[in-house]
Amino acid sequence: MQQLLLFAREDLALQSLTHAQFSHDGVCPEAARMALEQTYGGLLQESNTFNRQLVSFQANKTERLHGWIKYREGFSAGLVESLLGDFGIKPGDTVLDPFAGSCTTLLVAQALGVNAVGIELLPNSHLAWDAKSRVYRYDLAEISHVLHLIESQTPPPSSRPFPHLPITESAFPPEVERDLMAYDQWFDTLELSADTRLLCRFALMSILEDVSYTRKDGQYLRWDVRAEKIRAANERRRSQGLAPVHGINKGVIPSVKSELLKVLTRIRYDAQVLQREPPPPSSQTLVRGNTLSELPKMPPAVFDAVITSPPYANRYDYTRTYALELAYLGVGEGISTGCGRICSPVPSRIVLNLPISGTSTRRSAGQPTSMLFST
């Protein structure tokens, strides 16, 4: 197998970037990969322009709208703004993000009046997009009404069980799990507009990690020692004379009520600020499906730029990291990319940048300007 040189630095070029599984179990024939490398390998550039904050989700945590739900694998709104500026993208142009995740690219485009198309497989990201993209039209008085109800009332107990997946069993303290489902059912019974109802569902999804005995950590959920699953495992281990497994201790687990109040208060504030200056009209579409099958259906030459952070084959399983959210949404274990797992970004700072001729970053050369990010 011939490995093309992707880096200008010889010491890096000497390292092989391929391994036996690179072609993902034959989904991509080796010859196709080689053809891709031959076409685009020369266009890869390393860049030190962006810092860690910008290429990761860190900067989004406190960012209006983007911080409503954590998405550790995301890049920041600031990065997208900066790239759109570099590419000379203006209102009316169209950008593509084929691995949209928390939809940072689409939301920044929306704020700037730029058209955008995203593709994303996971339903938790779909709900995040549905909730965040409505920010300019939420009825603030209705959100205040919901906040008042949460503050002043206790939802009646629900008979709905939390729709656990095997790997999420015992993820919540029992009273938290009861409350989650009580609020879930209660929101359905309130007289609310479809937008606010959707927002309530999103708010519940967004607090799941915080009220649970789990913490997203790299590729897995780490478990608190108090979770029933860990306690039972440790009892078994002790009876077998084995040392107990070490879990984390998250300290006091906040209540569903306090977290809901927190997230909805933040949302109301952000919506209030953003609604003062709504962006120029534009259109954003999130295609819900597998990029492998959806991208080829898109018409050629409609995109002025591509900004994306792709998954990295066989390294990262998003369905494990987002198991709580997927379980809550009633998604069984049946999500399939058609090519195995859903994977993480490459842990490096490689930038693919198609050529920009002169000051024009548009499709003048017959290709969109594009950036492929690895955070």
Applying CB under 6 A, the residues found at the interface with ligand SAM are: 71, 73-75, 99, 101-102, 104, 119-122, 125, 290-292, 309, 311, 318, 337, 342, 345
- Please, which residue, 117 or 192, has the CB nearer to ligand SAM? 117
- Please, which residue, 110 or 337, has the CB nearer to ligand SAM? 337
Q: How far is the CB of 76 from ligand SAM (least distance, A)?
A: 8
Residue facing ligand SAM at closest CB distance: 101
Q: How far is the CB of 99 from ligand SAM (least distance, A)?
A: 3
- Please, which residue, 53 or 272, has the CB nearer to ligand SAM? 53
Q: How far is the CB of 363 from ligand SAM (least distance, A)?
A: 22
- Please, which residue, 78 or 101, has the CB nearer to ligand SAM? 101
| Amino acid occupying residue 72 | R
Distance of CA 164 to the CA centre of its chain: 21
288 close to 130: Cβ distance less than 8 angstroms: no
User: And the tokens for 356?
Assistant: 């920009």
SS3 34: helix
- Please, which residue, 72 or 231, has the CB nearer to ligand SAM? 72
Q: How far is the CB of 366 from ligand SAM (least distance, A)?
A: 26
DSSP calls for 268-327: HHHHHHHHHSPPPP--EEEEES-HHHHGGGSPTT--SEEEE---BTTT--HHHHTHHHHH
What is the C-alpha to C-alpha distance for residues 354 and 342, in angstroms, rounded to an integer? 26
Q: How far is the CB of 288 from ligand SAM (least distance, A)?
A: 9
What is the C-alpha to C-alpha distance for residues 200 and 118, in angstroms, rounded to an integer? 24
What is the C-alpha to C-alpha distance for residues 161 and 178, in angstroms, rounded to an integer? 8
